C-alpha cells in the first residue's frame, strides 16, 4: 500500500486508463512514481500481446491495425503529441532555443509534425504485421517495456528546461538508486524477451536524442521526453523484426 499512489500516478501519467485520487499524491509520491514506469510499459505490452493472441485467426493486416489503434488509445496519443510538437519546434526553431521552446507550446501541428507522426505509426504498423505473421506475440511486450524502462534514465540524467514542470518535480523527488534498479530490472526482462542487439540500439538511439536536446535546448521538456519515448518504441519494434 505504501507505493500504491505512486503506481497509480505512473499509470495516470503514461496512459489514459482512468485513475482517481481522493487526494492528489504529494511530491515524494510523484518522485516515486518513476519506479513504476517499467511496470506500466510491461502492462501495456501485455495488453497488446493478449489482444494479438485473441486475434490470431484474423488477417495480420487487420490485427496490426487494431493493435496500433489500441496502442494509441491506451496512451491517449500523449507521446505522439509530444513528438508532433518537438518536430514542429525543431524545424521552425531554426536552431534558436527560445523560439524552439515557444513553438512547442503552440497546440497547432504543421506538415512536418504530421509526416513524422505518420511515419512513426507506419513503421510500428509494418513491424507488428511481421511479428503477427511469425506468431511471436510476446515480442509485442518488448517495445513498451524498453521505452518506459529507458525514459526514467533520460529524465534523471538530463537537465529539465522548464523548472516548474511536473517532470522537474518528479525528478527532484525521485529515489534515484531505486529507480535505476527498477529500470535495470525492466531492461533485463526485455532482454529475456528480445535480444541484446535490440536493447543496445534502443539505448544508443536515446543517447543520440538526448544529445540533440542538450545541443538545442540545454536539456529536455515534457514534449521532447514524449517524443523520445515514441521514437524509442518505434526503433525497438523495428529492430525486433530486422535484427
pLDDT for 219-243, tens place per residue? Answer: 999 899 999 999 999 999 999 999 8
What is the pLDDT at residue 3?
Answer: 83
The residue written with cell numbers 518536430 in the block is: 87
In the predicted structure, residue 23 carries a pLDDT above the cut 90: no
In the predicted structure, residue 1 carries a pLDDT above the cut 70: no
- Give the up-direction half-sphere exposure of residue 178: CA atoms within 13 A in the CB hemisphere: 12
DSSP state of 176: H
In the predicted structure, residue 164 carries a pLDDT above the cut 60: yes
What is the pLDDT at residue 233?
Answer: 98
Output 160-169 pairs: Cβ under 8 A, ≥24 positions apart: 160/219, 160/220, 160/221, 161/101, 161/217, 161/218, 161/219, 161/220, 161/221, 162/221, 162/222, 165/221, 165/222, 166/13, 166/30, 166/222, 167/220, 167/221, 167/222, 167/225, 169/27, 169/30, 169/31
* Averaged pLDDT for residues 184-205: 96
Taking only the tens place, the pLDDT of each residue in 100-122 is 988 888 777 788 899 999 999 99
Sign of CA pseudo-dihedral 165, 82, 75, 123: negative
In the predicted structure, residue 2 carries a pLDDT above the cut 80: no
Supply the angle between the helices 111-133 and 60-75 in degrees, to the nearest 10. 130
Supply the angle between the helices 142-157 and 196-217 in degrees, to the nearest 10. 40
Rounded Cα distance between 215 and 180, Å, is 25
Amino acid at each position: 500500500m505504501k507505493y500504491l499512489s505512486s503506481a497509480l500516478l505512473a499509470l495516470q501519467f503514461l496512459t489514459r486508463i482512468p485513475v482517481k485520487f481522493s487526494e492528489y499524491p504529494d511530491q515524494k509520491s510523484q518522485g516515486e512514481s518513476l519506479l513504476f514506469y517499467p511496470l506500466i510499459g510491461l502492462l501495456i505490452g501485455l495488453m497488446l500481446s493478449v489482444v494479438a493472441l485473441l486475434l490470431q485467426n484474423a488477417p495480420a493486416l487487420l490485427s496490426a491495425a487494431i493493435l496500433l489503434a489500441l496502442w494509441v488509445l491506451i496512451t491517449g496519443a500523449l507521446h505522439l503529441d509530444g513528438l508532433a510538437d518537438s518536430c514542429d519546434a525543431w524545424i521552425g526553431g531554426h536552431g534558436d532555443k527560445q523560439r524552439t521552446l515557444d513553438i512547442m507550446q503552440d497546440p497547432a501541428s504543421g506538415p512536418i509534425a504530421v509526416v513524422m507522426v505518420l511515419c512513426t505509426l507506419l513503421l510500428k504498423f509494418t513491424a507488428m504485421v511481421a511479428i503477427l505473421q511469425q506468431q511471436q506475440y510476446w515480442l509485442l511486450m518488448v517495445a513498451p517495456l524498453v521505452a518506459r524502462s529507458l525514459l526514467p534514465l533520460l529524465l534523471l540524467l538530463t537537465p529539465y528546461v522548464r523548472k516548474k514542470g511536473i517532470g522537474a518535480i518528479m525528478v527532484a523527488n525521485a529515489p534515484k538508486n531505486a529507480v535505476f534498479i527498477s529500470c535495470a530490472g525492466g531492461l533485463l526482462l526485455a532482454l529475456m524477451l528480445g535480444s541484446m542487439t535490440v536493447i543496445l540500439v534502443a539505448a544508443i538511439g536515446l543517447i543520440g536524442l538526448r544529445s540533440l536536446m542538450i545541443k538545442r535546448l540545454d536539456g529536455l521538456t515534457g514534449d521532447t521526453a514524449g517524443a523520445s519515448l515514441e521514437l524509442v518504441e518505434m526503433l525497438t519494434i523495428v529492430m525486433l523484426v530486422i535484427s
